[in-house]
Amino acid sequence: MSSTFSDRLTAAKDVIKRNHVATSTAKVYARIEERFETFLETVPSDVPEVDKVLVFLNENFNKSPEGFRAATAALRAFYVLKGAVENPLDAEVIKLAGRAVTRQAPLPRHKVKLKAGEFSEAINFLSQSAGDKPRRMMNLLLVSAGAYLRPGEALSLRNDDIEEERGYLKIQIKKDKTNQKGQPRFAWIKDGPQVVPIREWKERAQELKSVWLFPNLKDPSKPWKYDAAA
């Protein structure tokens, strides 16, 4: 093949790469292809293409169905433009791998506990950040840690659930994961430096005309959702 025709063929394939999907998707595909080409440099050339693809997908995209689908689509286009007679993405083992990723259980959340030093660093960082978002997160951490609450329990707190009582913040927990239908329980946080920002945040929530201690900042009539806070 002459160099001139080779250049024309490369140009034609570049047009396909840029335009067969949306621009944002093409950028994602390009990053995946770049990672795959780097991966190929570490694999012996005599390894079957299907095996190369399977190992690459397993090592890089086996946690997310969306990521796996994007990677297989990118690699399918990669082999098509490469002129492969048999596309390894059509292999049954790749299809089975996709089903396995889709069916696997999601990873558990909130299983790793923050160490005291890490907690202090997070509070220090958030305290120096401007705006309601970091203040809200900082106070969620302070209330959760100080009253030994799960995040979901802290997020369900209303402003009137927090009261001052004999040198403590008294917190009424109405929605308790371990006691869904029983009487509310109470927790106390001893007055001190860590209570000052909680008091100030409660005032801020009231300024936003919210009944919730941790409101949705875009719509203060609603609480901050667990999925958004996690």
In the chain, the amino acid numbered 33 is: E
Model pLDDT for residues 199-227, shown as the tens digit of each residue: 999 999 999 999 999 999 999 999 888 77
Q: Which two tokens stand for residue 109?
A: 């959340």
User: Given phi > 0 = left and psi -120 to 50 = alpha, else beta, which region is 166?
Assistant: left
Is residue 38 within 8 Å of residue 75, measured between CB atoms? no
Is residue 119 within 8 Å of residue 141, measured between CB atoms? yes
Whole-number pLDDT of residue 230 = 56
State the Cα–Cα distance between residues 138 and 122, nearest whole angstrom. Answer: 8
**pLDDT-above-90 percentage for the chain:** 39
From residue 136, alpha-carbon distances to 129, 141, 162, 167 in Å are: 11, 9, 16, 23
Q: Residue 52 above 70 pLDDT? A: yes
Q: Look-up: residue for tokens 């402003």?
A: 159
Q: Residue 105 above 60 pLDDT? A: no
Whole-number pLDDT of residue 147 = 87
Whole-number pLDDT of residue 95 = 93
Average pLDDT over residues 189-198: 87
- φ/ψ (deg, to 5) at 150: -70, 155
Query: What pTM was computed for the model?
Result: 0.48
Whole-number pLDDT of residue 16 = 76
Q: Which two tokens stand for residue 223?
A: 């609480």
State the pLDDT confidence band at 34, using cuts at 50, 70 and 90: very high
Whole-number pLDDT of residue 111 = 47
Is residue 215 within 8 Å of residue 223, measured between CB atoms? yes
Q: What ranges in 105-155 are assigned the alpha helix state H?
A: 116-127, 132-147, 151-155
Determine which of 147-161, 178-192, 199-213, 215-229 has the lowest per-residue pLDDT on average: 178-192
State the Cα–Cα distance between residues 80 and 59, nearest whole angstrom. Answer: 23
Dump the DSSP string for 90-113.
GSHHHHHHHHHHHHSPPPPSS-SP
In the chain, the amino acid numbered 119 is: F
Q: What is the gyration radius of the CA atoms in the chain, in angstroms?
A: 27
CATH code for the part of the protein at 116-229 = 1.10.443.10
